[in-house]
C-alpha cells in the first residue's frame, strides 16, 4: 500500500505537512512518494494542494485534499488494520 502526495511548487501547506505524512507512512510500513503537480497533464491535475491518494496494487482506494489530520486519520483507519499514528 502507498500514499501518493501531489504537491505544487510554492505550496506552503505541502512543505509543512510532508514530514508528517512521511512519518505516518514509515511507521505503518507504507510506501510514500510525491508527484509535482506541474509535471502532470493539466486535465488530471487536482485543484487543491496537497492532494493525496491511498493506493494498493495500482488501484486508488481513496483520495483527499488538504492537511486536516482528522481526515487523514479517518481515511487510513478505513483501510489499515492496526494503524499507528504519530
Query: Does residue 37 lie in a domain region?
Result: yes
Query: Does residue 84 lie in a domain region?
Result: no
Query: Does residue 86 lie in a domain region?
Result: no
> How far is 42 from 28, CA to CA, in rounded Å?
32
> How far is 84 from 73, CA to CA, in rounded Å?
10
**Which CATH number goes with the domain that contains 75?**
3.40.30.10
Query: Does residue 35 lie in a domain region?
Result: yes
Provide the residue range defining the domain that includes 58: 2-79
Query: Does residue 85 lie in a domain region?
Result: no
Query: Does residue 59 lie in a domain region?
Result: yes
**The model scores a pTM over 0.85:** yes
The per-residue pLDDT string of the chain (86 residues; one tens digit each, 9 = 90 and over) reads 999 999 999 999 999 999 999 999 999 999 999 999 999 999 999 999 999 999 999 999 999 999 998 999 999 999 998 889 87
> How far is 10 from 7, CA to CA, in rounded Å?
9
Give Cα separations from 12 to 1, 19, 33, 73 (angstroms): 27, 13, 18, 21
Q: Is the peptide bond before 53 cis (omega within 30 degrees of 0)?
A: no
Three cell numbers written together for 26: 514509515
Amino acid at each position: 500500500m502507498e500514499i501518493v502526495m501531489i504537491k505544487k511548487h510554492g505550496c506552503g501547506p505541502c512543505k509543512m505537512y510532508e514530514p508528517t505524512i512521511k512519518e505516518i507512512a514509515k511507521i505503518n510500513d507504507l510506501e510514500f512518494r510525491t508527484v509535482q503537480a506541474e509535471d502532470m497533464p493539466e486535465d488530471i491535475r487536482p485543484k487543491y494542494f496537497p492532494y493525496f491518494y491511498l493506493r494498493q496494487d495500482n488501484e486508488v482506494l481513496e483520495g483527499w485534499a488538504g492537511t486536516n489530520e482528522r481526515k487523514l486519520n479517518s481515511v487510513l483507519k478505513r483501510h489499515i488494520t492496526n494503524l499507528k499514528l504519530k
